[in-house]
Every structure is written in structure tokens, then in C-alpha cells.
């Protein structure tokens, strides 16, 4: 069976200075690049996701337009398709990435499993086509999109490992809670990479 690396949402808007920048986001981008330089060949597939929201609507209520964002289900405008904020962080080397998944096109989307590749494949299909049974996850944000993607991978029957030095979250408390939830659900927390 095969192994996949999921790189979740390492985008300009989710790193320092972005619309929803998290502390440590740029370091995660650089850390994943260093990790890939040594470990890309360990994986059957390497997949990277991006939020890729519509710029002309509220994306199913995901963007707060009528009131202040609650930072739970409504957010400031971020990762609008075709903007600098939606692009990968410049410190993320994507040369080893074989599949690019876009999610949130007109709708709220947190999990990579809610997206599609440019060719229209779902993540479920990619895992099945490549015989993947283990998924390692890295990226942003621990307490939102990494969490949702990991839970969906577990639900898909994958052995899931969170590369904890290569994730960054919105807040320490919610990130710790997300990692505890994932461990309880069966994910392995890998402390050294």
C-alpha cells in the first residue's frame, strides 16, 4: 500500500501579514520545503490544497459581509481565486507536489476532501487510485482545515499521522484541543520530522 503527504492551505492569506495570518505560518512553509527535500521520495503522492474562494459572492455565508466575522463559521474575505492571498506562500517549494486541490469555490470548505484537482478528481478517488493507506498531514490551520482534513482521512479508513512541527494554528488552545481530538480519533502525532 502507499503513503500520501497532504500539505494543507500553506497560502499567503494564512501566513503572517495575510488576511487570516497565523503565527508560525511562514515557518511552516519553510519547514515543509526542508522536509520535502529529504522525504518527498517516501510518498506515493504529494498533494497540496488551497482555499480558492469566489470573489463576487459570500461563498455560501463563509465570508462575513453583513456583520463582523465570528471567526468560527464566518471570516474576513480571504484566499480569493487569482489573488496573491490565494497563492502558495513563497517559502513553500511545490516542485514535489503532484496534485493541487482547490476547495471552497463558492461554498464553505475546510477539509481537503471537499476540493478537487484541476482535472476534476476528488481526494477520495486519488487515494483509491494510488492504493494509499497512510496519510501524513502538514500545513495550516491545525484547528480548522488540518483538523477537518485529518478527520475525513480517518473516516476514509486511512492511517493518519500529523507532523506536528509542520502545522500552525489560529490559537494555542484550539490547536491543542484539535490535536487531542485527532489523537483520540486514532491519528498519530509525530513530534519529530
Concatenating the DSSP letter of every residue in 140-181 gives E-IIIIIHHHHHHHHHTT-EEEEEEEEEE-S-HHHHHHHHHH
Active-site amino acid positions: 9, 103, 145
What's this model's pTM, rounded to 2 decimal places?
Answer: 0.96
Residue 125 CA neighbour count, 13 Å, CB half: 10
Angle at 55 between CA 51 and CA 57, to 5 degrees: 105
CB within 8 A of 68, min separation 6: which ones? none
Instruction: Name the pLDDT band for 180 (thresholds 50, 70, 90).
Output: very high
Which contiguous run of DSSP H or E holds residue 31? helix 25-39
Confidence of residue 7 (pLDDT cuts 50, 70, 90): very high
pLDDT tens figures, 67-107 = 899 888 899 999 999 999 999 999 999 999 999 999 999 99
| CATH code assigned at 24 | 3.40.50.850
Enter the C-alpha cell of residue 97: 507536489
Least confident range of 59-68, 88-97, 140-149: 59-68
Give, as one character, the DSSP assignment of residue 134: E
> How many whole angstroms from its chain centre is CA 81?
16
Number of domain units in the chain:
1
Which long-range contacts (C-beta less than 8 Å, at least 24 apart) are formed by 66-70? none
Using DSSP, state whether 119 is helix, strand or coil.
Answer: coil
Domain residue limits at 26? 2-190
Phi, psi of 8 (to 5 degrees): -95, 115
Contact 159, 193 (CB under 8 A): no
Amino acid at each position: 500500500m502507499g503513503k500520501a503527504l497532504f500539505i494543507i492551505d500553506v497560502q499567503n492569506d494564512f501566513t503572517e501579514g495575510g488576511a487570516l495570518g497565523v503565527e508560525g505560518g511562514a515557518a511552516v512553509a519553510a519547514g515543509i520545503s526542508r522536509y520535502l527535500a529529504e522525504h518527498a521520495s517516501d510518498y506515493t503522492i504529494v498533494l497540496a490544497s488551497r482555499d480558492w474562494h469566489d470573489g463576487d459572492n459570500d461563498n455560501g455565508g463563509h465570508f462575513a459581509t453583513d456583520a463582523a466575522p465570528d471567526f468560527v463559521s464566518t471570516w474576513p474575505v480571504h484566499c480569493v481565486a487569482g489573488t496573491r492571498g490565494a497563492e502558495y506562500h513563497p517559502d513553500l517549494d511545490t516542485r514535489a507536489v503532484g496534485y493541487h486541490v482547490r476547495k471552497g469555490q463558492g461554498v464553505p470548505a475546510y477539509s481537503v476532501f471537499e476540493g478537487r484537482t484541476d482535472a476534476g478528481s476528488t481526494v477520495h478517488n486519488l487515494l483509491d487510485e494510488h492504493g494509499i493507506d497512510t496519510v501524513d498531514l502538514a500545513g495550516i490551520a491545525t484547528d480548522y482545515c488540518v483538523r477537518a482534513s485529518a478527520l475525513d482521512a480517518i473516516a476514509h479508513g486511512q492511517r493518519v499521522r500529523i507532523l506536528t512541527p509542520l502545522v500552525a494554528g489560529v490559537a494555542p488552545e484550539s490547536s491543542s484541543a484539535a490535536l487531542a481530538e485527532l489523537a483520540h480519533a486514532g491519528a498519530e502525532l509525530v513530534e519529530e520530522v
